[in-house]
Amino acid sequence: MELLYARDIYGKTLIELGKKDKRVIVLDADLSGSTRTAMFAKEFPERFFNFGVAEQNMMAASAGLASCGKIVFVSTFAMFATARPLDQLRNTVCYNNFNVKIVATHAGITVGEDGSSHQALEDIAILRSIPNIRIVVPADAPEARDAIISAYNTEGPFYIRLGRAKVPTIQNKRPFALGKGYILEEGKDLAIIACGIMVYQALEANKILKEKGISATVANIHTIKPIDEKFIVDIARRHKHIMVCEEHQSVGGLYSSVCEVLSRENPVKIQSVGVNDRFGQSGSPQELLDAYELSSPHIARKAESFLMAAQS
Amino acid sequence: MKKKIKSLKRKANQIRKLIIEMLATAGSGHPGGSLSSTEIIACLFFEVLRHNPKDPTWPKRDRFHLSKGHACPVLYAALSLCGYFDKEELWHLRKFGALLQGHADRRVPGIDVGSGSLGQGLSVALGMALAGKIDKEDYRVYCLMGDGELQEGNIWEAAMAAAHFRVDNLCGIVDYNRFQIDGRIEEVMNLEPLVNKWEAFGWHVVQCDGHNIEELLECFREADSTKGKPTVIIAHTVKGKGVSFMEHVVDFHGRAPSEKERKIALEELEEIESAEESIE
């Protein structure tokens, strides 16, 4: 199994884009080593600006640069890319619909040892209510590359959510298409829709379920906004039970997106595998995935009881 | 020179009258901070800025960003006088479906970045200045800030960064009318010593009477010739300038003149205009 840092791929992809397009500018707020924008800085020092620990200034300045025709990549940890400069992001970047690509790393509980203050679990919920911005949560490193290139090629603000830890590369992915979900495994008993690192957990959970005679459809929805309504409705027409897995609060993220679509179009039973209104804490990524009931055995267990409850 | 100053005074008067008429028609909006920055805007749009109203997105244009977005009436008035859009639009200010929104908006020809939420404009202007440096363009960037918004931390983040990046193509202007919505700046949240603050952040600081055209033009010249660091012009102004019952009156920060007040204000402005015209 191939394990890669999505942020390594981000750094490489930035260099690739920087080489072919002089309009590409990169901003960071004192985390360029961790986010890997330092790789771009080394190659193109004249097109990289370190704003220091001042995310609000960085975010509003990105709008000024974009107003002059630049394609601006803005990076820091997810916590400091969304909550801290939210007003700048909402009023100056998104309202003006600027070509600013926020690529945030260190999202989710798998930040690990740094603990709660650095584990963004509400970033998707915060951003999803803002018009104009597109939100992509890649499942692995190669998909992160596709998402970044897609953001580069698509006018307007983006939020791309990456993690800190190495992520296993998923086999048999479909070609990346912005705004389109896809099926990874076909099953008949229930459907598991996931995003980000939870796609891998869902596939692992399906192995456990198969041993118990349960077969699940596993789908990856990497684009949270705009959400692929047709795809979700199609899954709901074929499955009475849907589970939605995300490394995020159960409120306001992918689970909410799926519920919003299906409550209107095709109501079915939908269960959440997400963080249940709690803050994170220190620990290893695996310890935390287990403790917050996000890991594959928990997904399998929840799927089983979900189906049992339906039968009784 | 005298002719130029007289012409700019005339523009300022025209802008003031449009502000009063526009706000009275709209029935809401912010006259105080629009009237205090009228000479600053007149100098910029009719003398200092390199711009072409027929080609609002001309890449070599100087950039102007209004950080105090609530003062959009002064900007809308100047843009309409320059010919960026039909003057008729002014009479729809703040109305449903109007081009001219309640705060500065990017849909308006001549406005590159909308504003309204305070304290962000200097960062936006910094981004524009950096773009100019990257592209080795010689355009300059001007950013008009209110005094109240200097209480926002974001402004000082931008001030620190602008000095750090040595963007000498950036010129900030503070409309220091000494009032904010809740009252006197010094009572709500004191900014002094303001000159020392900007200097400590690494800026070249110049001060002037923000209603004196000659002094303003001199400040803009000095900003233009200052190399290696950004310049801020601290323009000492009078909130509500030009209308006797609005001057230094905090109520007119965010209240439009009534029909009766509109008439009196316009009469006063006419008087000022004819007095100035008679001086040769």
Verify that A131 and A213 share a domain, yes or no.
no
Is cis: bond before B31, omega within 30 of 0?
Answer: no
Q: Is the pTM of this model over 0.95?
A: yes
DSSP assignment letter at A105: B
Verify that A203 and A121 share a domain, yes or no.
no
Verify that A104 and A228 share a domain, yes or no.
no
Verify that A147 and A222 share a domain, yes or no.
no
Find, in chain A, the residue whose alpha carbon is nearest to that of B62.
A68
| Residues of chain A positioned with their CB less than 8 A from the CB of B125 | 64
Q: What is the CATH number of the domain that holds A218?
A: 3.40.50.920
Q: Quick one: which of B15, B104, B28 has its CA closest to B66?
A: B104
Identify each DSSP E strand in chain B by its residue range: 63-66, 141-146, 170-176, 179-180, 183-184, 204-209, 231-236
| Residues of chain A positioned with their CB less than 8 A from the CB of B112 | 67
The minimal CB distance from A57 to the residues B65, B113, B157 is found for B157
Tell me the pLDDT of chain B (280 aa) as tens digits.
899 999 999 999 999 999 999 999 999 999 999 999 999 999 999 999 999 999 999 999 999 999 999 999 999 999 999 999 999 999 999 999 999 999 999 999 999 999 999 999 999 999 999 999 999 999 999 999 999 999 999 999 999 999 999 999 999 999 999 999 999 999 999 999 999 999 999 999 999 999 999 999 999 999 999 999 999 999 999 999 999 999 999 999 999 999 999 999 999 999 999 998 887 6
Instruction: Determine whether the interchain pair B106/A96 forms a contact, defined as Cβ–Cβ distance below 8 Å.
Output: yes
Q: How many beta-carbon pairs below 8 A join chains A and B?
A: 101
| Residues of chain A positioned with their CB less than 8 A from the CB of B63 | 67-68
Task: State the smallest CA–CA distance between residue A39 and chain B in angstroms.
Answer: 19
Please report whether residue A296 resides in a domain: yes
A131 part of contact set with chain B, CB < 8 Å: no
The minimal CB distance from B124 to the residues A46, A49, A60 is found for A60
Please report whether residue A113 resides in a domain: yes
Per DSSP, the three-state class of A201 is: helix
Verify that A156 and A278 share a domain, yes or no.
no
Verify that A86 and A162 share a domain, yes or no.
yes
Q: Which residues of B touch A (CB under 8 A)?
A: 59, 63, 65, 106, 112-117, 120-121, 123-132, 134-135, 153-154, 157-158, 160-161, 164-165
Please report whether residue A44 resides in a domain: yes
Determine the pLDDT at residue A310: 79
Please report whether residue A173 resides in a domain: no
Q: What structural domains does chain B harbor?
A: 2-278 (3.40.50.970)
Query: Where does a domain end: A117, A145, A168?
Result: A168
d(CA A1, CA A215): 23
Please report whether residue A41 resides in a domain: yes
For the annotated catalytic residues of A, the residue numbers are 55
Verify that A136 and A188 share a domain, yes or no.
no
The ipTM is 0.96
- In tens, the pLDDT along B40-53 reads 999 999 999 999 99
Q: What is the CATH number of the domain that holds A135?
A: 3.40.50.970
Verify that A218 and A297 share a domain, yes or no.
yes
DSSP assignment letter at A93: I
d(CA B134, CA B123): 16
Instruction: Determine whether the interchain pair B129/A64 forms a contact, defined as Cβ–Cβ distance below 8 Å.
Output: yes
Determine the pLDDT at residue B280: 61
Verify that A161 and A197 share a domain, yes or no.
no
How many domains would you assign to chain A? 2
Query: Where does a domain end: A143, A168, A193?
Result: A168
Instruction: Determine whether the interchain pair A60/B123 forms a contact, defined as Cβ–Cβ distance below 8 Å.
Output: yes
Verify that A136 and A231 share a domain, yes or no.
no
A52 part of contact set with chain B, CB < 8 Å: yes
Across the strands, what pairs with B228?
none
**Which of B134, B136, B140, B156 to mutate to probe the A interface, most A CBs <10 Å?**
B134
DSSP assignment letter at B48: I
> Could you tell me the mean pLDDT of each successive run of 10 residues in chain A, 312 residues long?
96 98 98 98 98 98 98 98 97 98 98 96 98 98 98 98 97 96 97 98 98 97 98 97 98 98 96 97 97 98 94 74
Please report whether residue A174 resides in a domain: no
Determine the pLDDT at residue A257: 98
- In tens, the pLDDT along B119-162 reads 999 999 999 999 999 999 999 999 999 999 999 999 999 999 99
Please report whether residue A17 resides in a domain: yes
d(CA A236, CA A262): 8
Q: Which domain holds residue A36?
A: 3-168
Query: Where does a domain end: A146, A168, A190?
Result: A168
